[in-house]
Amino acid sequence: MHEYETVIGLEVHVELLTDTKLFCGCSTAFGAEPNTQVCPICLGLPGGTLPLLNKKAAEFTIKAALALNCEIAPKIAFDRKNYFYADLPKGFQISQYFYPMGRNGYIEFLVNGKTKRVGIHQLHLEEDTGKLSHIGDDIISSPSSRVDFNRAGVPLMEIVSEPDIRSAEEARLFLQKLRSIIRYLDISDCKMEEGSMRCDANISIRPVGSTEFGKKTELKNMNSFRSVYRGIEYEAERQRSVVLSGESVIPETRHWDEAKGVTRAMRSKLVSADYRCFPDPNIPPYPVTEEWIQEIKKTIPELPDERYKRLTEEHDLPSSTAEVLTSSKELADFYDAVLSVHNEPKTVSNWIVSEYLGLLNAAGMDITESKITPAGLGKLLQSIAKGEISGKIGKTVFEEMFNTGEDPALIIEKKGLKQISDTDTLSRIISAVLAANPQSIEDYRKGKKRAMGFLVGQIMKETKGQANPQLVNKLLMEELNK
């Protein structure tokens, strides 16, 4: 019996962060009353004004194509993709069929410590459609639907991967890396739950070793990274059981049902010839010059891969730490900003990855919602480095900073958390602890080194953790060896 492998290609749609739509001046703001951000152009009403290209959307798309290592098309040209659906007011979608903005690019990411490269077949710019809301439980059983055209005409970038992805986990990692790159570029917020990033997956299976592709299904309606993972897992498994039972996979569009955890058939798949694409006669092509490309290149910031390299090579951080820190631009910028106050990459990265991310996760918060400032964390780490407070007390102060946003110096002062580094005070406490634990002194002198740890613990307890640990060790050792 054959072993089967899964072959996955992703089609990712990303709404661009422009203020206005792709071919008209309507606002792109999310969450407005339905059908309030519309005009004759984006509604496709007859007569009136011609569409005018939003240059910023074109620049954003070229920027993304460059960041994804694509070849750039010599001109910006648009075509009409003709089809009928209730969310498409014009009866055609303006897209880039003959000249996609970028081609033949790639994304790299780590899978179990190994670099995986997934090809980008193409990247192009198009208009978004309107948004349907289905009455009832779901699209299949719904008796009727409503449509909001606020989204119609919003600039949308579509990224089509090569079928290089081999598992649900790789699909998730690909998407995360793609989202990270796009967020670094600051051209989309890529929020799957708000629909500013959407992902469809083409899934097929084939016997391991085969170079031909199996019959594929297109999976839609995955609204989070988790549902992408679950949906693909389920669909690949379903195809396996279809094939193993001697039947063949029907090429069709399937719908991921998040609540039930299954995929269901929606409609048989359209082949692209059905769209009858032709150049849009209302939008003249616009040349993409080498000068323009160079200008756009200059606006591309340090991307995740370059940052990762800097953190592992120049800052000598472990690859897992560098992966976490560069996964979002906000986090990477935060790390760099703390370093400008306290230039200790190892300490700073440890605090961010274990303490800070721990608190953020526990609170279910994103770094952008936090009260912690890079300067605040930098100052706290300086206090620890100077011995004003211990690392342990530092964690208490950090939690307080997280909750209140207060300055670390103020918290240390207010709560009386300053480390006790005064020899007289510590000697007095040590004497009292020793007097109360004669057995431990005897154990220590008989060679039981663990007794030392116990005594240090007692002294720390007496001082509520505020004793300078190095000094306690030194003084205690002196006493015990008398």
Per CB under 5 A, residues contacting Zn ion are: 24, 26, 39, 41-42
Q: How far is the CB of 26 from Zn ion (least distance, A)?
A: 3
Q: How far is the CB of 232 from Zn ion (least distance, A)?
A: 36
**Cβ neighbours of residue 447 closer than 8 Å, sequence gap 6 or more:** none
Q: Which is nearer to Zn ion, 41 or 107 (CB)?
A: 41
Between CA 434 and CA 432 the distance in angstroms is 5
Q: How far is the CB of 91 from Zn ion (least distance, A)?
A: 16
Q: How far is the CB of 407 from Zn ion (least distance, A)?
A: 48
Between CA 261 and CA 232 the distance in angstroms is 11
Q: How far is the CB of 152 from Zn ion (least distance, A)?
A: 8
Distances (CA, A) of 85 to 91, 194, 476: 7, 22, 80
Give the type of residue at 99: Y
Backbone angles phi, psi at 329, to 5 degrees: -65, -35
The one-character DSSP state at 270 is P
Q: How far is the CB of 63 from Zn ion (least distance, A)?
A: 24
Between CA 152 and CA 150 the distance in angstroms is 6
Q: Which is nearer to Zn ion, 23 or 256 (CB)?
A: 23
Between CA 49 and CA 301 the distance in angstroms is 37
Pick from 156, 173, 157: nearest CA to 165: 173
Q: How far is the CB of 5 from Zn ion (least distance, A)?
A: 46
Q: Which is nearer to Zn ion, 26 or 118 (CB)?
A: 26
SS3 186: coil
Tell me the torsion sign for CA atoms 402, 408, 410, 414: positive
Q: Which is nearer to Zn ion, 155 or 376 (CB)?
A: 155
Q: Which is nearer to Zn ion, 41 or 353 (CB)?
A: 41
Q: How far is the CB of 43 from Zn ion (least distance, A)?
A: 7
> What is the number of other CB atoms lying within 10 angstroms of the CB of residue 410?
13
Q: How far is the CB of 18 from Zn ion (least distance, A)?
A: 13
> What is the number of other CB atoms lying within 10 angstroms of the CB of residue 458?
18
Backbone angles phi, psi at 208, to 5 degrees: -55, 135
> What is the number of other CB atoms lying within 10 angstroms of the CB of residue 432?
13
Between CA 396 and CA 417 the distance in angstroms is 9
Between CA 472 and CA 402 the distance in angstroms is 30
SS3 392: helix
Q: Which is nearer to Zn ion, 41 or 393 (CB)?
A: 41
Q: Which is nearer to Zn ion, 48 or 209 (CB)?
A: 48
Between CA 148 and CA 422 the distance in angstroms is 70
The pair of structure tokens assigned to 318 is 């472990």
Q: How far is the CB of 24 from Zn ion (least distance, A)?
A: 3
